[in-house]
Structure 1
């Protein structure tokens, strides 16, 4: 097991951009949003029965197309996607920018960059009613011990341990979405500094501004991996816990493109 936390730096790649997406359930906007989607996306939209699911899919996909269309200098409906060998979405042909999206409840989160591999996650803080039941399958033993200690020390003082769990989960989701190699079975071999997460949550509380999202406003979070192959795959990984909408957690991860096979 590694005894040192991974290095954290405050310098964010210049090309990395973030955007929070406010998702509404206004059915009147669906036709306008759907005009930007591909035939495959129209099919996926039609398969969704709940209005909130349709709105969420349409808003996030249309926003992604708008952003990438501006970057590529093409209309949104001309942006073409494909999946890489591991099933991770990318631009057709595999060129930049790299991108990643996440959505939960009434919010979505988008990141893109021309020179690093990105992963993002946003979660409702009440996504799991009983987070403790999931500890063994998604948390490192060290994370479990730290959360158990926080459940006592934070009682009545700051975020609850259940909320910290969701922030930790967002960070780990962002990591594996950036990696994109289907290594979710390695969740328990990867550990983030839970005490640093708890401090960061208090630091970013009340600082969310959807109009001016910035990774530099987030807090670097140390990490380490027990498995040597996973540690090598994640070498140079950078993590940020982001200011999030009230009731949500949000996280960003990035890797140098050259480290991805």
Structure 2
């Protein structure tokens, strides 16, 4: 797998993932245009947010998603149509998705990332590595038994990085599966030791973890970004801004 700066977003190759990173503050001027691109049900969802920041965040996220997907699909952003799986994960409606595009979106602390590919289901998670009070308590609640044993043996200065390594790897897998809280985070196990590559170690119900591949995408200091894919990825192309 290779990672490199890929210039302007090209047409997707069959075994590549494009990862787009954007900053919320840079996209605030786009709010009026993005809102006009939304479908009726998206506008209704935006209206249900009570906090202005949540309202604007939804519009910016969905507007940017439409802009990016419109580029890859060769369709104006406002013409894109989304369907949803039973757990609410969006996907492009088939009549307008002749290229077989899959995507996933994540945001944290003023940063948004979007993974786009043709190779199959994809999951991505970004987390800003802020300090967390009661870190061990949070880990015990969400991590598997093996993950907790490894985590608690780490020196204190290494625990925060290991926590976010574990969390982003878990979230990326759950987002790939598109089943939300139906997959408890402690029901499966990932790698988390400092310097250890991201990897699924164990899954419930006899599912083979070897069919899933994880990759760290290092784009910003103090952020963890992890990508999870079905099968190996040949190239990850990052785009910033």
Given the two structures, how large is their TM-score scaled by the length of structure 1? 0.74
Pair 50,144 (structure 1): closer, same or farther in 2 beyond 3 Å: same
Q: Does 1:29 align with 2:30?
A: yes
Residues 1:63 and 2:40 are matched in the alignment? no
Unaligned residue ranges in structure 2 (runs of 5+): 4-13, 232-241
Cα distance in 1 for residues equivalent to 2:34 and 2:191: 40
Shift of 1:183: 6.6
In structure 2, distance between residues paired with 1:65 and 1:105: 21
Who is 2:226 aligned against? 251
| Deviation string, structure 1 residues 49-96 (Cα, Å, up to 9, x no partner) | 434323322222111101111121110011100112443211113852
* Structure 1 range deviating more: 38-47 or 68-77: 38-47
**What does residue 132 of structure 1 align with?**
136
Q: Residues 103, 226 of structure 1: CA spacing in aligned structure 2 closer, same or farther, 3 A cutoff?
A: closer
* Post-superposition offset of 1:223: 2.2
Shift in Å at residue 235 of structure 1? 4.2
1:81·1:91 contact (CA, 8 Å) conserved in 2? yes
* Structure 1 residues without counterparts, runs of 5 or longer: 1-9, 201-219, 257-261
Contact 2:198–2:214 (8 Å) recurs in 1: yes
Inter-partner Cα distance in structure 2 for 1:70 and 1:28: 20
| Aligned CA-pair RMSD | 2.5
The CA distance in 1 between the partners of 2:200 and 2:220, in whole Å, is 24
Could you give the per-residue CA deviations for residues 140-159 of structure 1, whole angstroms, max 9, x where no partner exists? 2221122112234xx3xxxx
Aligned partner of 1:163 in structure 2 is 161
The Cα shift of 1:28 comes to 4.4
Alignment match, 1:146 = 150
Q: 2:183 matched to 1:188?
A: no
TM-score if structure 2 supplies the norm length?
0.79
